[in-house]
């Protein structure tokens, strides 16, 4: 076990609750004052197959997992067979003596425990949890607190099952408490949902698609309490158009999808662009092209998101690096979409969406200003009135004596179709003025993050979910880490300041062509090299450390 951190792998068959088991372990370590991150690896099927979750807990902020693990919780034989080589020196395997053969570790007779408590098979995970808590030297009280919170149904029976296993196991590898505060642990999807709510979300539209389906499920589960509407339309085409209809009538909403669904939305993305209707799209990237790997990750849709739709129009694209940033920037995505009447895209990925993160609830900065209200004294109302900022004040039907028109064609200030060259040009320039205003505001929003050794002349450039691993290795290995969070409009000034004094830099990305590398080249920055991964899995800490060593040393 490394100093100040611990990694636990939970493995079993799909349908055995591996993700939930990993989450409970993550919560237990959160209670002990650790910051946690969980990576969940599962194939695209419902029952059977091999699933595993890796929980990494550390005293410092953590956003990536190691290949090496200190504990393996083996719900099936395959977990031992596949993952034992990962076990670190002194690591412990906890297994079910009834179904799994292991040459060492702590065996728990899960079936006997369940029989003794007349508990259903699904409660077997509580036995593993109890045994793990004991093996890690964690007091029963902490385990009980976490189990009570995580198991609102059948709580007492689960506790009895866990307690029996706790008493049968023995302490093997103590995970000491850090004395740090216990931070909330949540998925990126939940954090995005909270950010959207903080941005004024009143309705959410989505067609199910991994990895954002759980955002749909999260908002649907709490829709009544939150007093929002959550609707699953017939296609992603209907999804985005319903959201645009809502916005036309004055109701802020958002949509969520992945690459395939976003393909279907692109025609309406252009509609939002020319008609100047606010739209917020959560785009969770997964491995492509096409259906690709449905349940695995990628960072390969940056240029697609940046260029989707025919014609030219400003858009806001932000790629948060963890759940905390996902929350803060989802709120800003809502605000900026409505202030500038442009599309906002929250560009996440499988790791952000479905990964677990410890979040500091207090990090969200105060929001900036919202849309300018329309002056009812100005009559007649023109939906596309020319203004200095290019932003026309918004009004929503019904307004007595006024006609409110939005239009997918080139239109005049009143929204009526025109083919007039001077109006065509003036309206194009009006839209681009909004982009300039948006860029100016973004430059003041700390849109490019610098971490690691902040003065080093050697840098790594990354974006999105590789934040955690790059910052960790940047600090450990002495590299500067430069990470644009806002990707469109590209904050060139802040980026230049972040790059001041950098002599050489490498791109670290989870795609095949270094998409951020292509973007910074457009602005005159040429990378010395690239470190790329595109097998659907995130970089593991040891793996990227080796690659960096080889590339840069």
Interacting residues with other proteins between 74 and 133 (CB under 8 A):
none
Give the integer Cα–Cα distance in Å for 11 and 55: 11
Residues whose CB falls within 8 Å of the CB of residue 228, separated by 6 or more in sequence, listed in order: 197, 201, 202, 203, 204, 219
Interacting residues with other proteins between 462 and 521 (CB under 8 A):
none
Give the integer Cα–Cα distance in Å for 337 and 354: 25
Give the integer Cα–Cα distance in Å for 52 and 74: 9
Closest CB to other proteins among residues 80, 186:
186
Candidates 283-291, 296-304, 338-346, 407-415: pick the segment binding other proteins (CB under 8 A).
407-415
Q: What is the 3-state secondary structure (H, E, C) of 361-379?
A: CCCCCCCCCCCCECCCCCC
Closest CB to other proteins among residues 49, 184:
184
Closest CB to other proteins among residues 415, 527:
415
Q: Tell me which of 379, 409, 420, 521 binds other proteins, using CB under 8 A.
A: 409
Residue 532 near residue 462 (C-beta atoms within 8 A): no
Residue 54 phi, psi dihedral angles, 5° rounding: -115, 125
Closest CB to other proteins among residues 181, 496:
181
Interacting residues with other proteins between 123 and 162 (CB under 8 A):
149
SS3 233: coil
Give the integer Cα–Cα distance in Å for 517 and 519: 5
Q: Which residue has the tokens 């709510």?
A: 197
Candidates 202-210, 442-450, 455-463, 480-488: pick the segment binding other proteins (CB under 8 A).
202-210
Q: Which residue has the tokens 């408490």?
A: 177
The CB-of-468 to other proteins minimum distance in angstroms stands at 19
Give the integer Cα–Cα distance in Å for 344 and 326: 13
Candidates 76-84, 242-250, 306-314, 425-433: pick the segment binding other proteins (CB under 8 A).
242-250
Q: Tell me which of 247, 265, 351, 450 binds other proteins, using CB under 8 A.
A: 247
Strand 343-349 to strand 253-257: parallel, antiparallel, or no bridges (unpaired)? unpaired
Q: Tell me which of 245, 370, 444, 501 binds other proteins, using CB under 8 A.
A: 245
Instruction: Please tell me whether residue 251 binds other proteins under the rule CB under 8 A.
Output: yes
Q: Tell me which of 114, 203, 302, 394 binds other proteins, using CB under 8 A.
A: 203
SS3 432: helix
Instruction: Please tell me whether residue 264 binds other proteins under the rule CB under 8 A.
Output: no
The CB-of-17 to other proteins minimum distance in angstroms stands at 18
Interacting residues with other proteins between 207 and 226 (CB under 8 A):
225-226
The site string for other proteins over 356-385 (x = CB under 8 A, - otherwise) reads: ---x-x------------------------
Instruction: Please tell me whether residue 401 binds other proteins under the rule CB under 8 A.
Output: yes
Ramachandran class of 134: left when φ > 0, alpha when ψ lies in -120 to 50, beta otherwise = alpha
Give the integer Cα–Cα distance in Å for 189 and 214: 6
Applying CB under 8 A, the residues found at the interface with other proteins are: 27, 30, 149, 182-186, 194, 197-198, 202-203, 205, 225-229, 231, 233-235, 237-239, 241-251, 253, 267-268, 271, 275, 359, 361, 396-409, 411, 415-417
């Amino acid at each position: 076990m490394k100093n100040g951190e611990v990694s636990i792998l939970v493995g079993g068959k799909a349908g055995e609750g591996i993700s939930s088991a990993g989450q409970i372990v993550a919560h237990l370590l959160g209670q002990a004052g650790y910051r946690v991150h969980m990576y969940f690896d599962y194939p695209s099927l419902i029952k059977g197959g091999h699933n595993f979750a890796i929980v990494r807990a550390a005293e410092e902020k953590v956003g990536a997992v190691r290949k090496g693990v200190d504990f393996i919780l083996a719900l099936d034989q395959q977990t031992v067979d596949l993952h034992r080589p990962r076990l670190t020196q002194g690591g412990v395997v906890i297994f079910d003596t009834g179904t799994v053969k292991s040459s060492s570790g702590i065996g728990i007779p899960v079936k006997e425990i369940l029989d003794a408590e007349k508990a259903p098979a699904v409660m077997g995970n509580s036995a593993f949890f109890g045994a793990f808590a004991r093996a890690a030297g964690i007091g029963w009280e902490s385990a009980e607190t976490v189990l009570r919170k995580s198991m609102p149904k059948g709580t007492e029976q689960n506790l009895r099952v866990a307690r029996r296993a706790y008493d049968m196991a023995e302490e093997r590898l103590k995970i000491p408490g850090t004395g740090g505060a216990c931070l909330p642990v949540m998925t990126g999807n939940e954090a995005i949902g909270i950010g959207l709510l903080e941005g004024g979300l009143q309705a959410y539209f989505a067609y199910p698609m991994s990895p954002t389906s759980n955002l749909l499920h999260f908002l649907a589960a709490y829709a009544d309490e939150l007093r929002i509407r959550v609707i699953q339309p017939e296609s992603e085409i209907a999804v985005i158009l319903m959201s645009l209809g809502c916005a036309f009538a004055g109701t802020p909403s958002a949509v969520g999808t992945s690459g395939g669904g976003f393909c279907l939305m692109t025609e309406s993305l252009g509609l939002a662009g020319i008609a100047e209707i606010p739209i917020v799209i959560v785009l969770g990237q997964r491995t492509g092209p096409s259906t690709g790997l449905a349940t695995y990750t990628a960072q390969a849709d940056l240029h697609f998101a940046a260029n989707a739709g025919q014609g030219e129009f400003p858009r806001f694209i932000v790629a948060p690096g963890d759940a905390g940033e996902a929350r803060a920037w989802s709120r800003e995505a809502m605000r900026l979409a409505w202030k500038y009447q442009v599309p906002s895209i929250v560009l996440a990925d499988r790791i952000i969406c479905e990964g677990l993160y410890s979040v500091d609830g207090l990090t969200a900065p105060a929001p900036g200003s919202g849309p300018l209200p329309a002056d009812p004294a100005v009559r007649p109302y023109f939906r596309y009135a020319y203004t200095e900022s290019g932003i026309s004040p918004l009004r929503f039907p019904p307004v007595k004596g006024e006609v409110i028109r939005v239009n997918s064609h080139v239109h005049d200030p009143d929204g009526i179709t025109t083919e007039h060259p001077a109006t065509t040009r003036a309206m194009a320039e009006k839209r681009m003025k909004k982009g300039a205003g948006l860029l100016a505001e973004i430059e003041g929003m700390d849109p490019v993050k610098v971490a690691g050794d902040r003065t080093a002349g050697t840098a790594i450039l990354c974006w999105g979910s590789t934040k955690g691993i790059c910052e960790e290795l940047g600090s450990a290995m002495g590299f500067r880490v430069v990470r644009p969070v806002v990707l469109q409009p590209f904050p060139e000034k802040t980026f230049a300041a972040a790059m001041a004094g950098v002599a050489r830099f490498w791109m670290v990305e989870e795609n095949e062509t270094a998409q951020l590398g292509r973007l910074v080249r457009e602005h005159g920055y040429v990378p010395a090299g690239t470190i790329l991964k595109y097998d659907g899995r995130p970089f593991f800490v040891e793996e990227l450390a080796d690659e960096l060593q080889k590339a840069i040393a």
